Amino acid sequence: MKLGKFKEIVLLALVILLSIFLRFYKLGSIPNGLYVDEALTGYNAFSILLTGKDEYGKFLPLAFRFFGSYSPPFYVYLTVVAVKIFGLSIFSTRFSSAAFGVIGVILVYFFLKYSDLFKFKYLPLIGAFLFSISPWAIFFSRAGYEINFGFIVLSLGILFLWLGLRKIKLIPLAYIFLSLSSYGSHLNRYLIPILAALSLVYFKKELFSKAAKRFTTLGLIFAFLIQIPNLYLFLTPAFNTKGDLFYQDLLTTQLSKIHGLLPQFLSYPLSLIREFSARYLTYFSPRSLFLLEDPDIQRSAPGLSPFYFWMVVPFLAGLYNIFKERKILFSRFIIFLLLVFPVPLALTSEPFSSQRGLHMLLPLVIVITIGMGALFKKYGKIAFLFFIILSLISFIFLWRSYFVLLPFERAKVWGYGFDKLTQEIVNNPKITYVIDQERIKPFYIEFAFFSKLSPEKLQNSVGGKIKENYYTNIVFNSSYKFQNIETRGVEWEKDIYKEQILVGDELTISESQAMEHFLTKVFEIRDPVNEIVFVGYKTDPTTKCLRTNFESIYCRKI
């Protein structure tokens, strides 16, 4: 082994170690809490492990009903293994996602290793390093739901597609992994058919050459066979639960503005093209990529954008170089990804979704790496020195935003306090708790997770109706009743006349309501910022009835 090769392996090992550290350090406590999507994943994995059925009693579902969203199933099944090894915990729920985050680093390395754009030896290592420290990659690697897993399987398909364009025997693997990735995350269900179809057109020369034709056909046949469960789902309402994300209302508003001056057959396409283009462009906008947090505060760390601000320079340099070398196959491949990947995103109403758009991370990291390579080539050691200094500064920003501020400021949105509330309820098995569901995320699943509730109990609480019409009964109801809890909206006319504890957030029960109905505060749970997350009030039906001269019909029982 040559020293150069040895050095490369050592450096790659260091990058992988760094990525392991950034993805696994305090994984069970940062993010601080357990987001409901994580609770669904973890508990359903636990339920599958113990009973082979999900929370509704459905045997090995093709898509999990999760609050009516019918999430692709692979990540839950993968989490079964982690739950088996580590037990049901926040760590085990996030484990597979973090592990796949590390695999992503290796994929980026190989992707760049076999590129033909730059013959710069350390380019794959730089790419792997940039991916490993990317806030976007780290954030979703540490979230215990399917999104990162779906992204990495998709990236594996993309890697094989790229390798397959050079070595035709690998083409079937590309379409197999791409097809499999549609069971990894929601977006892939829509992206993969578009991507596969357009790849056949865009790389027609390579994929349908005399030698490659049969491998491409074989890959497509396998891909089709893998899609059979999805085709079955396609015939049910469970497939398209995200259809309401399209911005039809916005188009209607815009149409009303043009109405009268332009005919409908012109005004609709014009409005659609404008909205589509604006949303498409925002996934390349420096402001969205290098400055702003995600519009949804659950999906980013305070003050941290998908990439560090300084990466805008290699990003622009990368775009320039890729376009300049657009005749080279690797550039064509990256341009293809950049053009196709935002298409489904531009059809959704969210202004910028780092979660739904996670797959953009792959081509964007490649672009930034290419730009880095171009800057190294042009400015040599000075560029390298800047790279080192700015990377070190990035670590400080990452530490500040992700490891200091996120667990402090965003604890509430990440489901902080559900474990404490569960403990309170478990400690008092004889008291009934009513958990208000107006603003609080569905509590039943958090309770099931933290109390390690026997899956049979939860399955029995929903009855057999949902199980029988699993893929057609898509309306979710967060009202549950099992053990000593009820999750629903507070019914003021009834609930104050029963001996129980009403639990809500800081807005559910005002002080005047508490006084009026003789409610006594028995506990409150606060987040690290010291804001109330949950507050529990004990009812006093006897006093209430006495003071109101037994006016209510519910006083008769007392």
Applying CB under 8 A, which residues contact other proteins? 254, 257-258, 261-262, 266-267, 270-271, 273-275, 277-279, 281-282, 284-288, 290-292, 295, 302, 309, 312, 320, 323-324, 351-352, 396, 400, 404-405, 407-409, 528-529
Q: 334-358 as b/e, with b when 16 or more CB fall inside 10 Å?
A: bbbbbebbbebbbbbebebbbbbbb
**Least distance (Å) between residue 322 CB and other proteins:** 11
Distance between CA atoms of 364 and 338, rounded to whole angstroms?
A: 8
CB nearer other proteins, residue 254 or residue 483: 254
DSSP E strands in 437-508: the ranges are 480-482, 485-488, 501-504
Distance of closest approach, residue 58 Cβ to other proteins, in angstroms: 37
Q: Which is nearer to other proteins, 257 or 494 (CB)?
A: 257
Minimal CA–CA distance to 363: which of 190, 154, 223, 178?
154
Q: Are 314 and 372 in contact (CB under 8 A)?
A: yes
Specify the residue, 199 or 401, whose C-beta has the smaller distance to other proteins. 401
| Closest approach of other proteins to the CB of residue 529, in Å | 6
- Report, in Å, the least distance between residue 387 CB and other proteins: 18
Closer Cβ to other proteins, 199 or 282, answer by number: 282
What's at 123, amino acid-wise?
Answer: L
Nearer CB in complex with other proteins: 229/263: 263
Outline where DSSP puts E strands in 319-389. Answer: none
Q: How far is the CB of 402 from other proteins (least distance, A)?
A: 12
Nearest by Cα to 76 from 30, 341, 473, 58: 58
Specify the residue, 312 or 532, whose C-beta has the smaller distance to other proteins: 312
CA 323 – CA 515 distance, rounded (Å): 69
524: nearest Cα among 507, 539, 505, 541:
505
Closer to other proteins by Cβ: residue 101 or 344: 344
Residues paired with residue 262 on neighbouring β-strands, in sequence order: 259
* Cβ pair 335, 319 in contact under 8 A: no
Give the nearest distance from C-beta 245 to other proteins in angstroms.
13
Closer CB to other proteins, 505 or 527, in the complex: 527
The least CB distance from residue 93 to other proteins, in Å, is 25
User: Tell me, what amino acid is at 456?
Assistant: E
Asked if 76 and 44 count as a contact pair (C-beta separation under 8 A), the reply is yes
C-alpha to C-alpha distance for 369 and 334, rounded to whole angstroms: 12
H or E segment and range at residue 223: helix 213-226
Comparing CB distances to other proteins, the nearer of 282 and 483 is: 282
Single-letter residue type at 425:
I
Tokens representing 19?
Answer: 């990525």
Considering the complex, state which of residue 206 and residue 275 has its C-beta at the smaller distance from other proteins.
Answer: 275
Write down the least CB distance from residue 528 to other proteins, Å. 7
Cis peptide before 31 (omega within 30 of 0): yes
User: Closest CB to other proteins among 222 and 284?
Assistant: 284
CA distance linking residue 134 with residue 198, whole number of Å? 29
Min separation Cβ 297 and other proteins, Å: 14
Q: Within 13 Å of residue 352, how many CA atoms lie on the same side as its CB?
A: 22
Instruction: Give the integer Cα–Cα distance in Å for 118 and 113.
Output: 10
**Best CA proximity match to 109, nearest among 151, 159, 165, 45:** 159
Smallest distance from other proteins to CB 285, Å: 5
CB of 342 to other proteins, least distance (A): 13
Q: Are 181 and 191 in contact (CB under 8 A)?
A: no
